[in-house]
Amino acid sequence: MYARKGYELVKDLASGEKGQLQPFNEDLFNQVVDQCTQHYLELQALIRKMQEESVDVRETRNADHYGALIHHLSLIRNKRCLMAYVHNRAEIIQNFAWKVGLELLELPEEIQEKLSSSEKNYFGKHSAALQSYMAEVGIDLNVDMVPPKDPYIKVRVLDDMGEGILLSDKTANLARHSMHFLKRTDAEQYIARGLMEELTG
Amino acid sequence: MATEESTSVMDDYETLISTTDVELLKRAWRNEKSAPEILQFEASLVQRIKEQIELAEQNVEMFEADNIDPLTVSLYQMDLDRTQFLLRSYLRVRLQKIEKYLFYILKTDESLNRLSRQEQMFARRCTDDLGSHLDETVLAKLPDNYQSILKQSITSEEDDMVPVPRLDTFVICKAKQYLSGLDFEPEYSMEITEMERDLLTFVCYKFVKKPLENGKIDLV
């Protein structure tokens, strides 16, 4: 049946968990693209046939016309499926910039493996656009993702940070694995750099 | 008598509180979060809030330097944090909407004009990036007549490949004053005729689009 492969491609996308990325299904994707080319060849062949029979291509409604129409519609359907596939993936990728990080290297390897090279490229460019917006406005938007509840939070130190780091109201010995109760504003910069994690619950 | 006086004082207090910039921003933020399409950017409000945040930051620093009771300082800090969150979240919700309806926003002047200058720059850049990504991955591999990003094929008369915000989704809203039929678009006069003040209403977004733009209702 025509356009079934396109449907499978979209199904592949829809069956995945929301916001999670599946590996780019290159194989199926290319099959759908090939089908498009095939439809187009047959469409042209039918139109040529009509021209050879010197019937009016625009007005005639014969079997060849409807054959061509079927190919045209199948092609469009395939195009929509392909675009939906790539576009929805692009939306998930845009979300990574918000939820995971703005640099490609910050993305965990499991995610990077699932991106096509054009998608990696797109992620980089999109993050750059976001960053330049933030620079223009002068506000970092990828911090403060959840409403603040308390000015103080509990954190665990993940890396050796040296002793005697000056916080705004005290100096603390931030040894690795030690836990502290700090001002959120003090801790945020270290959390962003991966030196601390917030303990919740 | 005494109770009457105190209620009127309370009312004054309520109206005062409800017109602070933070409260206005909260309103704008809620509306933006619930509306399916992008709303007018609150340029002057955002500017005022930014200045207030700066001022509050200076105040907190000054309090800290003056050795004022840490509890008091932390309350100010908390207030500041909340305002900052509101502002960031407001800008963020807008950017995410722009990301979602890129092509639609750029081709309709009405939407494009609602964006701040920086948002417009962002939208243009994103459209280029996403456009070239889609080109490279899909469109360049399709037959000539089917390569448009906005149209299904060259035989389409309209742009039928563009995701459009769904204005017929339902929203919950509350009127700030009594609304009569005149406050709504005439074309929906069959569907909606009036709305009581302060009554929570569950309604199709496009019916209340006009009073929302005129600031007569709030989305919840």
pLDDT given at position A164: 57
Mean pLDDT score of chain A, rounded to an integer?
Answer: 83
Based on the fold, state whether residues B38 and B77 are members of the same structural domain.
yes
Residues in chain B: 220
Query: Does B91 lie at the interface with A, CB-CB under 8 angstroms?
Result: yes
User: What is the domain count for chain A?
Assistant: 2
Based on the fold, state whether residues A167 and A81 are members of the same structural domain.
no
> Is A94 close to B85, i.e. CB distance below 8 A?
no
Q: What distance in Å separates the CA atoms of residue A156 and residue A187, rounded to the nearest whole number?
A: 10
pLDDT tens track for A143-158: 777 777 776 788 888 8
A83 CB neighbours in chain B (<8 A) are 134, 138, 161
B77 CB neighbours in chain A (<8 A) are 151, 183, 185
Assess whether pLDDT exceeds 90 at residue A55. Answer: no
Based on the fold, state whether residues A102 and A171 are members of the same structural domain.
no
pLDDT given at position B1: 45
pLDDT given at position B38: 94
State how far residue A148 is from chain B, nearest Cα, in angstroms: 6
pLDDT given at position A134: 92
Domain containing B206: what range?
Answer: 166-220
Domain containing A126: what range?
Answer: 4-137
Based on the fold, state whether residues A162 and A88 are members of the same structural domain.
no
Determine contact, residues B144/B202, Cβ cutoff 8 Å: no
Domain CATH for A16: 1.20.58.1030
Average pLDDT over residues A90-107: 82
Based on the fold, state whether residues B77 and B177 are members of the same structural domain.
no
**Which among B103, B122, B104, B106 is positioned nearest to B167, based on CA atoms?**
B104
**Which among B75, B29, B25 is positioned nearest to B49, based on CA atoms?**
B25
Amino acid, res. A65: H
pLDDT tens digits in sequence order for chain B, 220 residues long: 445 555 666 666 666 666 788 999 999 999 999 999 999 999 999 999 999 999 999 998 898 888 888 888 888 888 888 899 999 999 999 999 999 999 999 999 999 999 999 999 999 999 999 999 999 999 988 988 888 888 888 888 888 888 899 999 999 999 988 988 888 888 888 888 888 888 898 999 999 999 998 888 999 8
ipTM value for the complex: 0.81
pLDDT given at position A180: 84
> Is B82 close to A169, i.e. CB distance below 8 A?
no
> Is B137 close to A98, i.e. CB distance below 8 A?
no
Q: Which residue has the tokens 């519609």?
A: A73
Determine contact, residues A133/A174, Cβ cutoff 8 Å: no
Domain assignment present for A147: no
Based on the fold, state whether residues B133 and B204 are members of the same structural domain.
no
Determine contact, residues B167/B37, Cβ cutoff 8 Å: yes
Q: What separation in angstroms does the CA of A71 have from each of A82, B23, B150?
A: 16, 57, 20
Based on the fold, state whether residues A172 and A129 are members of the same structural domain.
no
Based on the fold, state whether residues A44 and A108 are members of the same structural domain.
yes
